[in-house]
Amino acid sequence: MTNRNAPQLRVYGDLLSGNCYKIALLLSHLDTPYEWVHIDILTGASHTPAFLARNPIGKIPVLELPDGRNLFESNAILNFLADGTALLPSDPWLRALVLQWQFFEQYSHEPYIATARYIAKYLGLPESRRAEYQAKQTGGHAALGVMETQLSRHDFFVGERFTIADISLYAYTQVADEGGFSLDGYPAIRRWLARVAALPRHMPMPAD
């Protein structure tokens, strides 16, 4: 039973941000209580002196431990929280494969799909950023193509079971349409999205 008086984890973020939603999704799977502190990046809340003391790069999410330590970078937070659980294999090879897909997510997927979504959804696709938005489409589809190949052979990204690699890639793929990426041509990705959403303790990203 959860001790409601126990010091809690605190997460600073915005649930509509895929990088932040990853943390909430993992904590839901782990059934771990936490406090969520909403940070509005559009009003500069991630660049106040107090926030920069937690994360010098001024980005969300940040995890604050009960002892006051702070951890930034969404995938580092996932690895910390999932350590010792079924969502992060202990086998070194499988663990490296989790990291492989998480680095792929941060370098080859998120900079295209999440950024296009940010320009369209948060900024309202201003004319000044339309060319950048268009330029993101090629890289985003390249990443989706890599995912489609993997998921046409496997139910999940690593070890034939749900891990934090799936959480990392699920976060922005499930809202890829908001960045202009239709998933019509990616049937294996659509089946995987449904598989993840059907898992017990799944938490959907809230609507606006």
Ligand X SMILES: N[C@@H](CCC(=O)N[C@@H](CS)C(=O)NCC(=O)O)C(=O)O
Interface ranges with ligand X (CB under 6 A): 17, 19, 41, 46, 58-61, 73-75, 106
Query: Minimum distance from CB of 60 to ligand X (Å)?
Result: 4
CB 174 within 8 A of CB 113: no
Query: Minimum distance from CB of 54 to ligand X (Å)?
Result: 12
Instruction: Report residue 38 as tokens.
Output: 């909403």
Q: Which is nearer to ligand X, 72 or 183 (CB)?
A: 72
Q: Which is nearer to ligand X, 30 or 41 (CB)?
A: 41
Query: Minimum distance from CB of 158 to ligand X (Å)?
Result: 19
Dihedral sign, CA of 46, 170, 26, 197? positive
Q: Which is nearer to ligand X, 58 or 139 (CB)?
A: 58
Q: Which is nearer to ligand X, 46 or 163 (CB)?
A: 46
Query: Minimum distance from CB of 136 to ligand X (Å)?
Result: 14
Closest CA to 60 of 12, 23, 112: 12
